[in-house]
Chains A and B, each alone.
Chain A
Amino acid sequence: MEVEKGRGGFLLSTVEFFLNHARARSFWPVTYGLACCAIEMMAAGGARFDIARFGYEVFRASPRQADLMIVAGTVTNKMAPLLVRLYEQMPEPKWVVAMGSCACSGGPFVDSYNVVKGVDTLVPVDVYVPGCPPRPEALFDGLLKLRAKVINPRVAKVAGDAR
């Protein structure tokens, strides 16, 4: 479906092209940290790693103004409905990065009675960043992968769409 849309017409596809390039260069993540991985996410914003270089440093406290949800940490069953609500409050187009093995699959707590086994059981995930915790560089790599995915929506289609 999306693939056909891209070939729709010269005018609209050019607009899409520019919009995608703009979107890919200004992800505003929602301020949302869950566990130890969130500390690495904060470190990514600090002086040593500086997420601002890519223009992704505008952490918005309100989901209405955010485009990207970095699920940084362990999602418990109690937090799950709130996570889904936050995701639904974000305006389209929006993306999700699962940061750390907890968000990817449940991580070290996968056997717990109260841990969601991967955030992809709740919301569509675009990029998985494995690690416990992933270093800020790994998070950047994930964000740059997401950038490539947003710039080339068709290629992402070939790689398999989470939705």
Chain B
Amino acid sequence: MASVETVFLSGDQWLKNWLFSWGMPESWVFLCTVVVYAVAVLLFVFANVIFLVYLERKVAGYMQQRLGPNRVGPGGIFQCVADALKLLGKEDIIPASADRGLFRLASLLIFIPATMLFVVIPFGREMIVADLNVGLLYFIAVGSTATIAVLMGGWSANNKYSLLGSMRAVAQMISYEIPLAFSLLGVIMLAGSLRMSEIVAAQKDLWFVVLQPVAFITYFIAATAELNRGPFDLPEGEQEIIAGPFVEYSGMRYALFFLAEYANLVSVSALAVTLFFGGWQGPWLPSWLWFVIKVYFMIFLFMWVKWTFPRIRVDHLMGLAWKFLLPVSLVNVFVTGTAIKLFQAMGW
């Protein structure tokens, strides 16, 4: 069991030793391992994303008493591979009136924050690419830059629907950023640190979801809105504005936006697991396996919500963020702070 637990760590150690045995200087070895980490994170992201699209279609099927894709490969598992291949072979249309440079850039730019988020996620015991002392702050800061790419795509397409869609996306993502950040404050106060590894370590005995249920629910709602997923998928509301910011994108460029959404789904679920469900901690199984199991449980929750609730209206959406979630998360911060002080005063 110990070897399974440390399979990735020992692989890393073996790689370093192998590089040193070639007589490489330390800085080069460091550079090589950074490249390997980056590739590993990218592989993790892509493998998950491809699988998630399949999972979403299957979950949607079962939620609606259908079977979902089941013809391509066993149980339809290769359905998304076929889709990805097909999208690769599609014509890449750039509208004549579009801002060509921005239009192209936006589809690439959307993926950068989506993958950068995984740098601070602890995948398992000592399995974190960069354990920043401001890890959580980094996550929120980088995560919110995705808005720019969406706005860029919507603006540069020079299409009224995509502009409307991207305006909606920006309004929604910025509004929900605030309750999201406040809901995380309670956890930070309990853990006393912004460093991901310390937040995980602080949940050794008790998961924070028990101490911070309100924060978790606020986080869950705000994160759903951040992801532009149903019931908050107004930016892409098909009945109103076709496909939102992505109306003019075709083929692989569209696929990049689509995949970035699923990459964000993984990262938001990973953050939820790290902050509220004890991260990689768990009995018997290896830590990274626990992490993956918990992340998939969170993803399933997101999908469940998406396929059971109808889309809400724009004004309700904003009202929910500013009139309900924000006060609730502020009260949560206040109550948490008071409780911490009280317990300290009582000497617990």
Contacts and interface: CB of A to CB of B under 8 A. Distances in A.
B250 A55 contact: no
Contact of B86 (A26, A31, A52, A62): A26
B85 to A, nearest CB: 3
Contact of B57 (A57, A61, A64, A67): A57
Nearest to A65: B254
Nearest to B248: A64
B247 A50 contact: no
Contacts of B61: 50, 52
Interface residues of B, number: 36
Interface stretch (A5-13, A14-22, A104-112, A127-135): A14-22
Interface SS majority for chain B: loop
Interface in A16-66: 18-19, 21-23, 25-26, 31, 46-47, 50, 52-55, 57-58, 60-62, 64-65
Nearest to B64: A47
A64 B93 CA distance: 8
Chain A CB within 10 A, most for which of B57, B86, B243, B254: B86
Contacts of B72: 25, 55
B344 interface: no
A92 interface: yes
A81 interface: no
B303 to A, nearest CB: 15
Q: How large is the interface on A (under 10, 10 to 19, 20 to 34, 35 or more residues)?
A: 20 to 34
A55 B76 contact: yes
A58 B251 CA distance: 14
A106 to B, nearest CB: 30
Given A47-B64, A55-B76, A61 B242 contact: yes
A126 B247 CA distance: 26
A91 B251 contact: yes
A62 to B, nearest CB: 4
Interface of B: 57, 60-61, 64-72, 76, 79, 81-86, 88-93, 238, 242-243, 246-251, 254
